[in-house]
A and B are shown apart, each in its own frame.
Chain A
Amino acid sequence: MKRHEALKVILENLTNELVITTTGMISREAFNAKDRPENFYMVGSMGLVTPLSLGIALNCKKKVVGIEGDGSMFLNLGSMAMVGAEKPDNLITIVIDNGCYESTGGQYCISQEVNLTRLAESSGYLSVAQVENEKDLKEKVLVFLKKTGPSFILVKVDSSRQEGIPRVSFTPEEIKERFIQAISYD
């Protein structure tokens, strides 16, 4: 499974859930896979997707899906533990794991040695899964949306990228404004 295929499966199986995507190619590929006002593209600040999604989930009834990369998850591993401590029932953390820092040239990431699902379990996520194909990913997304969270999905993808995809065309302020509007929709 390629990263952009995984992002497409996730986004196409959501309805009004709020989505936060991490910096680099994950935000760009998510934008190109399926743009929606409920998507918050965090274009910088690597490592802050999980804290931001936690802060949103604690204050809103909607389901919140934070999409990290393996590099960004390891950058702020402690944020998984904060989720486990606060236990918001409406939060799903998804890590798209390609085993490298692909956005910056494909450098090796320690996710090849250290499996994040066990860290998620010991951090206190109530449901944890690892998937390696589109069918299983779709199934886990749909099941976890119905479960009491917090939930965690590790999505193993290959290290390829979609060539020539544009950057997110909205400014950071535009991303924020339409996301704030989307939070208030039913």
Chain B
Amino acid sequence: MITADLFWQSLTKEGFYFFSGVPCSILKSALSNIPSDIKYVPAVREDSALGIASGSWLTGRKSTILIQNSGLGNIINALTSFNLIYKIPVLLIITWRGEPGKPDAPEHTIMGELTLPILETLKIPYKIIDDNFNTQVEWAKTEMEAKKIPIALILKEGVIK
């Protein structure tokens, strides 16, 4: 488990200060404790969040979106016809509702099973967030700089205190 404070500190330590997203209950404690030096733009859709974060990246800021995996469906076209062809890296923090083996609401079952396969199909590297979030963010930043594509970190229920 990591605290909301550590969640944000690990991101700002690597230079991520600009965020956009659509809320998920898994991110509740993080979203209610956003540090004052962070800019968070509430988006109406996940692909809009990705567009906003991509615009921010073009100005030289490392940028992140915070979305639920149900919204992964909403960003596929933005990834395939924008970020992956223009080579615009954005950090994707995607929560994992409907994780196989864990009981969850029926609407999350299919996307829960497909979350990792979709990222693999899109050839987007990812890691599942654990206690070493610090080094995982560092890994994501290095990958983004090297490959110039979005990198995903998957957040399971209960990882942020």
Please list the residues of chain A having a beta carbon within 8 angstroms of any beta carbon in chain B: 40, 42-45, 47-48, 50-60, 76, 78-79, 81-82, 85-86, 172-173, 175-176, 179-180, 183
Contact = CB atoms under 8 A, between A and B. Distances in A.
Chain A contact residues: helix, strand, loop or mixed: helix
Nearest to B90: A55
Chain B contact residues: helix, strand, loop or mixed: helix
B78 A48 contact: yes
B18 interface: yes
Interface in B60-88: 60-61, 63, 77-78, 80-82, 85-88
B50 to A, nearest CB: 8
A48 B51 contact: yes
Given A51-B43, A81-B44, A176 B88 contact: yes
B81 A173 contact: no
A180 B51 contact: no
A176 B48 contact: no
Contact of B59 (A50, A56, A82, A172): A56
B55 interface: yes
A44 B82 contact: yes
Given A42-B82, A45-B82, A48-B78, A78 B45 contact: yes
Given A48-B78, A82-B48, A58 B58 contact: no
Given A44-B82, A45-B82, A55 B47 contact: no
A45 B77 contact: yes
Nearest to A184: B60
A176 B148 CA distance: 12
Interface residues of B, number: 33
7 contacts: A48-B50, A51-B43, A52-B51, A58-B55, A172-B85, A175-B86, A183-B58
Contact of A82 (B41, B56, B57, B87): B41
Contact of B56 (A58, A81, A179): A58
Given A55-B51, A55-B63, 7 more contacts: A40-B58, A45-B51, A45-B78, A52-B58, A82-B43, A85-B42, A176-B88
A48 B55 CA distance: 10
B58 A176 contact: yes
B59 A176 contact: no
A48 B47 contact: yes
Interface in B104-148: none
Nearest to A20: B55
B58 A56 contact: yes
A50 B82 CA distance: 14
Given A59-B61, A79-B48, A51 B55 contact: yes
Nearest to B20: A55
Given A51-B55, A54-B55, A59-B59, A76 B48 contact: yes
Nearest to A62: B59
A48 B48 contact: yes
B95 interface: no
Given A44-B81, A183-B59, A51 B86 contact: no
B13 interface: no
B19 to A, nearest CB: 11
B52 interface: yes
Contacts of A86: 41
**Chain A to chain B: the 10 pairs with minimum beta-carbon distance, closest first:** A55-B55, A51-B51, A44-B81, A78-B44, A55-B52, A45-B82, A59-B59, A56-B55, A48-B51, A51-B48
